[in-house]
Amino acid sequence: MFPTVATSSFVQLEPARQEQLTAYEIGAKSTLFDRRLQLNGAVFYYDYKDKQILGALNDLVFGALPALVNVPKSDVKGFELSVVASPTPALQFSGGVSYAKSRVKGDYFNFDPFGRLANFKGQPFPSAPPWSGFVDAQYNFPLGNLEGYVGGTVNYQDKTNSFFYVTDPEADPPGDILEQKARTLVDLRAGIEKDNWSLQIWGRNVFNKWYWNGAKHVQDVVLRYTGMPATYGMTFSWKM
């Protein structure tokens, strides 16, 4: 993601330094039980120097203004696991989980979204949830001279903050007011297909979970960008 800002001063247009990344990663892939089970996994460590991130610069007239800035030292460590399983020809499962712990190494002073100067040492990157994962299942069955199927997906995303924030519990407003809460979404699908055509009915976020994908402070208000509510539809496809 490349952050952009609406500029009020030339200060916001000052170029950030080129970031530098040293990445270490090791992983493995395996296929078991006559190709009925596939396991993939990896662990990684990313060492950043001058990571570019959306922060703020001080202007003599307007005060703290959003801008692309550099975090001198930071890192990310974590792992990824995924599985694809077919216990029977008609039943398929897949899933995955990832963990990525990001942090600012050493002192890093900048402004929070409310213009408060603070040291963000040890804080995770904004919009970087530590945990995420999904589970998907589908069952296929004959339906006369057609092929039918039903399936569903569960997606999870951990909480994260939209910006670096002041951790003082007495701060007003509190630093976590721009936090994106953890959320779990459920999608369902069912359909029929034959030869080169298919018809599917689907539902996304079927339990109508209320959540938001981002939040920010603009002038005197806090904005939250809500995710899609429960949505249903039908898709017809034809392969030439």
pLDDT tens digits, 150-179? 999 999 999 999 888 888 878 888 877 889
The pLDDT of residue 10 is: 67
pLDDT at 177: 85
pTM: 0.86
* DSSP SS3 for 221: strand
Find out if CATH 3.40.1190.20 is the number for domain 18-238.
no
- Count Cα atoms within 13 angstroms, Cβ side, for 213: 6
Identify which has the larger pLDDT, 196 or 190.
190
State which amino acid sits at residue 149. Answer: Y
Domain ranges in the chain?
Answer: 18-238
Q: Which of 3-7, 10-14, 19-23, 51-55 has the highest mean pLDDT?
A: 19-23
Q: Report the SS3 class of residue 113.
A: coil
The stretch 86-105 carries a mean pLDDT of 96
Closest CA to 128 of 187, 64, 82, 78: 78
| pLDDT exceeds cutoff 90 at 216 | no
CA–CA distance, 206 with 203 (Å, rounded to integer): 6
Nearest-angstrom CA–CA distance, 214 and 236:
33
Chain position carrying tokens 């069912």:
190
